[in-house]
Structure 1
Amino acid sequence: MAFWIIVAALAIGVGAILGLTLMRGRVGEAPPAAYDLDVYRDQLREIDRDLKRGVLEAEDAERLRAEISRKILAADAQLRAGGESGGQPKALGIVMAGVVVALVTGGGVLLYSQIGAPGYGDLPMATRIANSEAARAERLDQEAAEARFAPQDTGLPDGTSDDYMALVERLRETVAERPNDQQGLRFLVRSEAALGNMEAARTAQAQLIEVKGEAATAEDYATLAELMINATSGYVSRDAEAALRDALDRDPRAPTARFYLGLYMTQIDRPDTAFRLWRDLLEESTPDAPWVPPIRAGIEELAARAGERYELPSQAGAPGPSAGDIEAAGEMDPEARQEMIRGMVAGLASRLADEGGTAEDWARLINAYGVLGETDRARRIWTEAQAVFADFPRRLATVRAAAENAGVAE
């Protein structure tokens, strides 16, 4: 309530000052015409000084005096006619004053109601972090989250045949008989996930991780977390967060784990941490990565919530050839293969020159030239990339890795 009282007092005060100015018809102690007279008299004195210094001819000085004298007569007549109010109609001044007060006060309230948070108290950073930690402590475990947020059962996916279901049932029986069979567990995870049985899929994945023990990889834990999150319609439970942390302990750059950890941070009101995770991941990812569309859809709003200035990078065009593309052309005859590869590389090089591209596009071009044995061109592209990404260390690191792979990095 105190906030609104202060805001209202400020708005009314500002509106009153503007309104009084309109009603008086002047800003200072004298009407506007009085200030005009002072200016014109100064101009007459300036003409006399310029005439004495020889800057003006006598004829020009006389002509200027006559012109300024006419302005003085007009200003004096205006001053006499307007009096102390400067000629401002009193009724109009009152009306305009009321309009100004209404606009300032009403407009301010309307603007705050649209972009502000009426009814909410101040949220200093320390308070927000404390609230976030409290939300994290109150996070549901996986079982409770599934009980509350599990997607509705819509039956089997379209096109699921009886033969396929028989195979899945046989796989379930096999895994039950041989619980340490890693290959069988992997197949079971995929099969259950394909059928939409996310709870069964994440149970099988957890069993696979337990069987693998210390050999479990970051990808194994990231897959477990993803299955948990899908089983709760996007809610990141306490157990899912633990799986994400386990994945990142094994590989701090694991992309799937970083994406879902960013999602978790948005859910516990830490947009600052979520923004940094998603921004770095977006800059390092190729346009066809599965996490790129959801990041691009939400990162600008996330940046605003985090108090960051962020401009979403343009979506790259069609990707150029990768090392895999070049190797896939191995079955073609040498001449046709070289022609195809060079055409793809030339297209990518032309697009980067005309439109620019992501760090991954530049890295792909350097790799392509390296595979073709054109180290001079690869070195030239690396030199250009250093200038393009000089202010973006993470992007430059991506291109540098390709340059080192091609043997052209200094």
Structure 2
Amino acid sequence: MMIWAIFAAMTGAAIFALLWPLSHGRLQGFADVADAKSLYRAQLKEIDRDLGRNLIATGEAEAARAEAARRLLRAAGDETGPAGETEPSLRRRRASSALMLSIVPLLALLVYGLYGSPGFSDQPLAARLQKGGQQQDFAIVLARMEAHLAANPTDAKGWSLIAPIYLRQGRYEDAAKAFAATARYGKPDTELLAGLGEARILEAGGVVTAAAREALSEALKLDPRNARARFYLAQAKEQDGDGDGAIAALEQLLADAPPQAEWAGAVRARIAQMQADAGRKAVAALPEAERQQAIKGMVEGLAERLSAGGGTLPEWSRLIRARAVLGDKEAARAAVKTARERLSQDAAALAAIDALADELALKEATP
């Protein structure tokens, strides 16, 4: 209720400031009538003294008395009120003042009731930051954590909680600083150091820097089976040009992976990509005759694997395109037919196979 009282007082003050000039016809004079009467009496005494001393003539004395009387009459006229003010005009001015005093606040309340939220209680930020619960806004939680860490920069527990949040938000520089603060003010563990290494890698745009390698190596000292540290150190081998060593490290990581590990699929995809890149580089380095023979061997190997069963749309598309590029149209058409049979339950895959067959001119002309 205090806020409403303040609003009411402010509204009243604003209306009073507007209506005050309307309630007065004109400004009053600075001198009051009592002073004018005293001045008239003093002037009369002065005139009588001057006349008694023969300092002025009788006619001049009468003229001075008349002038003083006129001034007194003017002052007395000011005392009666503003000239020209009538009772009807005074009533109209008072009515307009009362109307404004009542309508302006009512109009303001009506507008606020239509467009405002009078039923909501105030929610200052400081009070919201003190609240908890599952419905609390995440941004406010984060702001509370940041405010706490600004006031307590050596709180290792707080830094350990906020670092993964920064990492998920893509704030890699902040994440690296938070992980580093956790290690500096607390007791480092393997996951903390692996997170620090990952944040530094992402901050550097995917490059495994020397600082990141140091953190990852420390993580492996504490736990040689740390999957995240092993994955990024394998990536470091690849960046150093040791592709075989990187693939071997990732394959060993898969061999040690627990059943149903969520990250196993990403590791397999990475191994396949690295092997494909390595195979392309090796084939490109061969002489022309050997290169063609190697390509045919790779295509035949893919065909044998797919003929055994299964196969994905990208694999079938790669086989069909390879057959067509090598000039074996019949084998390409046979691959299209087999792919349609294997992917018959996937309408989108069938449409993609048909589009590829059209692109490579593999569809047989109908009689």
Whether TM-score is above 0.5 comes out as no
Whichever of the two has the greater Rg, that structure is 2
- What TM-score bracket applies, with the shorter chain setting the length? 0.3 to 0.5
Q: What TM-score does the superposition give when structure 1 sets the normalisation length?
A: 0.33
Query: Which structure would you say has the larger RCO, counting Cα contacts within 8 Å and 6 or more residues apart?
Result: 1
Q: What TM-score does the superposition give when structure 2 sets the normalisation length?
A: 0.36
